[in-house]
Structure 1
């Protein structure tokens, strides 16, 4: 099948498919006589696997590692379990960060007086000064796989 067909079957954008090929998550398909990419069922299955992993917010390095592990089906699955446990830990950390973000936004919203001018706006005043914000207990923003899910820039 051509790239448009595999895109339609997987609901993955054509540019994303090309990107996955470029970074090595998806093997490059052979080309047909006219030079078009000729995808096989194995490409579709891998693409759907990648899509499911991305839907679970897994980073490219995690997906790459899962693909590597899947290539040895007789091996013990403890590495797969460990990877998932690390990812789950990251998700829990992120949930805590989002909870802290929610509290900060609520604090900002409470700062809004019912005054009518922007100059008197408590929200803008709060954004212009340091807020008392709940901090991450770990404080290190460690990623579950080094180099992935980098903390946002302030």
Structure 2
């Protein structure tokens, strides 16, 4: 091969790095989570906006009824986890593509990761510890439901 010849595409230039390929797994995650998110989000929208009385049914009692069943708790938590990780991975990709300074890139990727982890933790706690009777007083319209 002479110096004026271009190597064939995919010609190995160096020994392949050992270990897992995080970029490949991130790419696969984006595709798989995207498909699952479409199903979860359209199911969420159908139940909340189309079934029953439509958007008029959404009030505090609707949320209380939904979060009284583990099925809807897990539905919403899985949707939350997938969406936040999907979004954080997308932001990581954008940061890696456009931020050229290595230290800035590292700080931004860590900030996105920490923000996503915090929101996942907070959202999961809210869904699984939701208590409609917390802070209800005798003056509240929920008192009759919560006093027993």
TM-score bracket for the superposition, by shorter chain length: 0.3 to 0.5
Q: Whose helix proportion is higher, 1 or 2?
A: 2
TM-score (norm 2): 0.33
Q: Which has the higher contact order (CA 8 A, sep 6+)?
A: 2
Taking structure 1 as the reference length, the TM-score comes to 0.32
Larger radius of gyration: 2
